[in-house]
Structure 1
């Protein structure tokens, strides 16, 4: 839009100068000329944006992958219907075969989305530690939360108390690897978080797979993946 405005102004000034200094070449339809010029600029900009988008992104198949031998994988997620709004979280612990080793659904009440995400991490770590897991891969689909867990957070940040609680678990005598994943690789945790909205307020430990997410865990074990455009 700025470029179009500039060109309109430039040509208007050029024609005015031509009138003043005698450079009066014949322009059959100046309005039509400006309209055509505008169309060309808009089209060129569209093509440029499309080319940049295609060049900077590639389609990849994304899905959940089992942890390494001897490791467990914890996937957690949080959701807030409004920010803040009604919120819930969920998580699942699985072994190298993709088998359900424990899970939870947490109906929080009302809070922000990042807070719900962090409550999911906290209770997921709690379950893994209680089950005496010694090697854990933790996956979350929030880049912000992954950054807090890896790099820490300022003491004055409103989420600092919960990040510190999570760090309290992470710093225990075990190995915890933290990764950000796309939502397609975190579908089971997302399903559990949505399932939590249907449950009473509070924490609900899940020793078996709830029926509402049974199909998701089957697809994960089968190696289902989903296309997604990702940055190069």
Structure 2
């Protein structure tokens, strides 16, 4: 399974029935973090009955899986025994997202659900499993598009990435989103002309959320500014492939970003020409620093009509066409 070290370790322990973390909290009996937290089929047999009161959370997990699993696989998904459930999810394609392997999505979902449940029990952080949906998809997308499979060091080479200005008579805006470990999110971006000149920049503190929503908000705000300034030929660049695919192809009805994608689609019709493209993070550094600047701001959008001091160096790197190496496999 193509995934991170943390998720690989988790999946190995999980599939070998070795997830037996126990705890005693508030004089309650110990229970095990087991597949029961991930499916409703064996919940009653695996955990202390005192935790049966958490039916709302269990139902939210079921809704999360239903948003990820193809509807024609629901009956099988929720009825298999533990070993078959693990085996089939690691070897079969059961997902709604056909462009990402199901075992990648499955591993990410299991890991994030388990982490969320730990946060609930140990830190009293209350949240619903359904809120993990954008994060599962975002993480799975990042893993799916990373430079794997593993090869020997001799097969690795470096490619050079830089920001490129738009075509003549076009403006380009790069946008990005950022999400901290406490789920506080921000977005930002920058508009430039075909000479690389600064037109406008923006940062916004969004509040609690996830990185994919922050990415989408960054695009929405950049489009609003482009429209207000009367630009007709607009080129959007982001480093989220999921966002690019949602803008260009749309998503399922269950996609939580649909309201923001609708906003994007309603604004872009005001332009004579519009295009969106995915770029590597190395070509999106200026938008990233504009997004992270939101952590230091009050709520609301801040617009910068001049180059702010905190991003001078990155702006001039882009203007001079400075390349940045990125590891790749030959």
Distance of 2:227 and 2:209 partners within structure 1: 26
Aligned residues: 182
Structure 1: gaps spanning 5 or more residues = 1-47
Within-5 A mapping of 1:1-232 = 49-51=150-152, 55=155, 58-82=157-181, 85-230=183-328
Q: Return the structure number with greater relative CO, CA threshold 8 A, min gap 6.
A: 1
Which structure shows the bigger proportion of residues in strand conformation? 1
Distance 1:63 1:161, change over 3 A: same
Structure 2: tracts of 5 or more residues without a match: 1-148
CA contact under 8 A between 2:233 and 2:271: conserved in structure 1?
no
Give the TM-score, by structure 2 length. 0.53
- TM-superposed CA distance for 1:54, in Å, is 5.4
RMSD: 1.8
Question: What is the CA distance between 1:170 and its match in structure 2?
Answer: 1.8
TM-score, length of structure 1 as denominator length = 0.74
Between structure 1 and structure 2, the one with the greater Rg is 1
Cα 1:49–1:92 shift into 2, 3 Å:
closer
Q: Deviations over 1:123-156 (max 9, x none)?
A: 0011111111111111000111111111112233
Task: Return the alpha-carbon distance in structure 1 between the equivalents of residues 219 and 154 of structure 2.
Answer: 35
| Per-residue Cα deviation, 1:165-213 (whole angstroms, up to 9, x for no partner) | 1111122342111100000000000010111110101111111111100
